Amino acid sequence: MPTDADPAAAPAAAPDLFLGLDLGTSGARAAAIDARGRVIAETRAAMADHGARRADSAAWKGAAQAALRAVAAQVDPARIRGVSVDGTSGAVLALDAAGDPLGDGRMYDERAADAAAVARIAALAPATSAAHGATSPLARAIDLAARHAPAMIAHQADWIASLLTGRVVSDESNALKTGYDPVAGAWPDWIDAAGLPRALLPEAIPSGAVSGAVSAAGAAWSGLLEGTPVVAGATDGCASFLATGAAAPGDGVTALGTTLVLKILSDRPIFAPEYGIYSHRVLGMWLAGGASNSGGGALLAHFDAEALAALSAAIDPETDSGLDYHPLARPGERFPINDPALAPRLDPRPQGGAAFLHGLLDGIAGIEALGYRRLAELGAPPLRAVRTVGGGARNAAWTRIRERRLGVPMEPARAVEAAVGAARRARAGVTGKAAGEAVGGAAGGAGRGGRA
């Protein structure tokens, strides 16, 4: 008869889980993965169910709570070994001394009200800083500080994570566009001169570092267990990249959405403001990328979705189109060619829709290949593999055309949801393992491919 001390009689321990929470512009998503990266549970809560405005911090809080509690109801919270939060890049809000919001947040695409602040940033910030521009999060933070006299300015992910831990801490990814220097690992002193006292900004720690643990109040709010480690997250774009399974220098992710967005993991930072390129520190490496104005929007200027599917089936992807196109929906390009006046190049136009579409797909694949070469010229490692997200990933002919042009394996994205990337971030922060997932492991549902 087995005894209590007999290992054969003891029940197997339930596998560890890691939880990611993603705050987007329309809702919150939560995902739990196991140690191999397989998605065990996923939930979503719409912002609209908790507030009428996308910048409404109460809606952020309500959607986040609903998503977390839904996951906690699907799995045993005692199995969750870590949680991480990603947020909308560039979303900031003002907090009082108790850590409560002072009004609405300011979203990534909102222009700063103080044009003088934008000019000061332009004059003081290094050219390589990601804080430049009329939609700079730093400029919006200056607006908030002038309006509310807050105790702190935080990013969306910082504040939601603080509801779990009781402590407002940022990460080097979300802090980047607010002026943080990821190379020096500090908020630079020119931020004070630009008009925002650095004392108002939270401490920024490396993405993936443990920032605290779920407090008693956080447990009551979220349904998670008190003491669960909380890991510093990243922006939604970085989390989406991590969700694909990319983890080694030279791993690239192409987002084939309305535009064409390329990102690559690098062993060194890359900053090229003339191409809109800056680098996030993730996985102990750097994530750099650029965005072309070509992409799905240039295709939809000529064909609807039904025609694209039918004509793609008539294309032989093993042959070149013989056409030298640079497809654009309208004039202007930013990467890998920086020319705001660049006109679409779509001549000559052959007879037959399939031949024309072949030229368009070939042209966008050429832009993608040039983009990765440009990143290598700027210091990125050679491309070793590409994973694809976004609607274009489903076009088999285009995938093969791209594979031939890029000359590297096209690996399947293990997931596309940013919440899965945040869960991977939690796992890496708690276990120290960024990779190790089984091939063909996690697979997410339909998600927000193409987020930058």
Convert the pLDDT of each residue in 198-255 to its tens digit. 999 999 999 999 999 999 999 999 999 999 999 999 999 999 999 999 999 999 999 9
Higher pLDDT: 165 or 12? It is: 165
414-423 pLDDT per residue, tens = 998 999 999 9
Domain boundary among 181, 207, 236: 236
CA distance 452 to 441: 25
Residue 452: pLDDT band (50, 70, 90) is very low
Number of folded domains that form the chain: 2
| Residues 323, 394 share a domain | yes
Tokens 């931020």: give the residue.
Answer: 191
CA atoms 121, 127, 133, 139: torsion sign: negative
Residue 87: pLDDT band (50, 70, 90) is very high
Helical H segments across 233-272, by residue range? 236-243
28-63 pLDDT per residue, tens = 999 999 999 999 999 999 988 887 778 899 999 999
| Residues 178, 86 share a domain | yes
| Residues 279, 387 share a domain | yes
297 located within any domain: yes
CA distance 424 to 437: 10
In percent, how much of the chain has pLDDT > 90?
A: 84
Closest by CA to 214, choosing from 256, 165, 287, 149, is: 165
Bridge partners of residue 143, in order along the sequence: none
User: Has residue 392 got a pLDDT over 50?
Assistant: yes
Domain boundary among 185, 201, 236: 236
424 located within any domain: no
343-360 pLDDT per residue, tens = 999 999 999 999 999 999
State the average pLDDT over residues 325-333.
Answer: 96
| Residues 253, 226 share a domain | no
What is the pLDDT at residue 134? 87
Q: Which structural domain, as residue segments, surrounds residue 91?
A: 17-236
| Residues 170, 25 share a domain | yes
Give the domain CATH number at 333: 3.30.420.40
CA distance 405 to 83: 39
User: Has residue 3 got a pLDDT over 80?
Assistant: no
Beta carbons within 8 Å of 227's beta carbon, 6+ residues apart: 213, 214
367 located within any domain: yes
* Average pLDDT score, the chain: 91
What is the pLDDT at residue 109? 83
Q: Are strands 385-389 and 251-256 parallel, antiparallel or unpaired?
A: parallel
41 located within any domain: yes
| Residues 385, 257 share a domain | yes
Beta carbons of 37 and 412 less than 8 angstroms apart: no
In percent, how much of the chain has pLDDT > 70?
A: 92
Q: Are strands 251-256 and 229-231 parallel, antiparallel or unpaired?
A: unpaired
| DSSP reduced 3-state for 350 | coil
pTM of the model: 0.86
Beta carbons within 8 Å of 189's beta carbon, 6+ residues apart: 198
